[in-house]
């Protein structure tokens, strides 16, 4: 069962006739999977691209290799470029990209420990981003990230006059 914030976000998107798309790295499809579990809300989902490997980020999402080399595949700079690339591939009102470190073995450092996640998106032409940190096992970090994405999208919608809704009958 998706978190309440994911349900609220999905209902809000549907009630305002908005579509969302995702470029997922660390979450490996879990974001769209959670949104897809909400009955009758499929009309709000445009799609998702899983770009776990850096080569997919470079070839499909057009992330410059220099950015990955300089900042790592799990960075705010790469996440922003993933969102920009996603906008070119999937038509949607909102696009959201996510990278990060849910488990050891990536580009973790003292400044960027395991549990650090990067979210970048666009609501039409308005950019938004957030760096978050979660503790727990990889599954918990990913589920917390899914909720953080939904919260961030709701915040953006509120900024643009789209009031949230949690009416299950509308979805």
d(CA 100, CA 77): 12
Give residue-wise pLDDT tens across range 93-111.
999 999 999 999 889 999 9
Instruction: Tell me which residue of 81, 44, 46, 30 sits closest to 162, measured CA to CA.
Output: 44
Q: How many domains does the chain have?
A: 1
d(CA 99, CA 168): 30
pLDDT at 128 over 50: yes
Give residue-wise pLDDT tens across range 2-24.
999 999 999 999 999 999 999 99
Range of the domain at 55: 4-170
CATH code of residue 26: 3.90.950.20
Give residue-wise pLDDT tens across range 32-63.
999 999 988 889 999 999 999 999 999 999 99
pLDDT at 125 over 50: yes
């Amino acid at each position: 069962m998706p978190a309440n914030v994911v349900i609220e976000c999905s209902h809000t998107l549907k009630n305002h006739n908005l579509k969302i798309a995702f470029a997922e790295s660390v979450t490996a499809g879990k974001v769209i999977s959670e949104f897809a579990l909400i009955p009758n809300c499929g009309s709000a989902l445009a799609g998702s691209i899983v770009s776990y490997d850096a080569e997919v980020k470079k070839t499909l999402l057009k992330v410059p290799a220099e950015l990955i080399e300089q900042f790592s595949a799990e960075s705010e700079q790469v996440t922003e470029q993933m969102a920009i690339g996603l906008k070119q591939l999937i038509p949607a009102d909102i696009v959201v990209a996510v990278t990060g470190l849910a488990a050891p073995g990536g580009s973790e450092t003292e400044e960027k420990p395991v549990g650090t996640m990067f979210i970048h998106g666009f609501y039409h032409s308005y950019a938004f981003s957030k760096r978050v940190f979660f503790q727990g096992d990889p599954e918990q970090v990913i589920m917390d990230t899914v909720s953080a994405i939904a919260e961030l999208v709701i915040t953006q919608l509120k900024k643009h006059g789209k009031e949230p809704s949690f009416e299950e009958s509308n979805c």
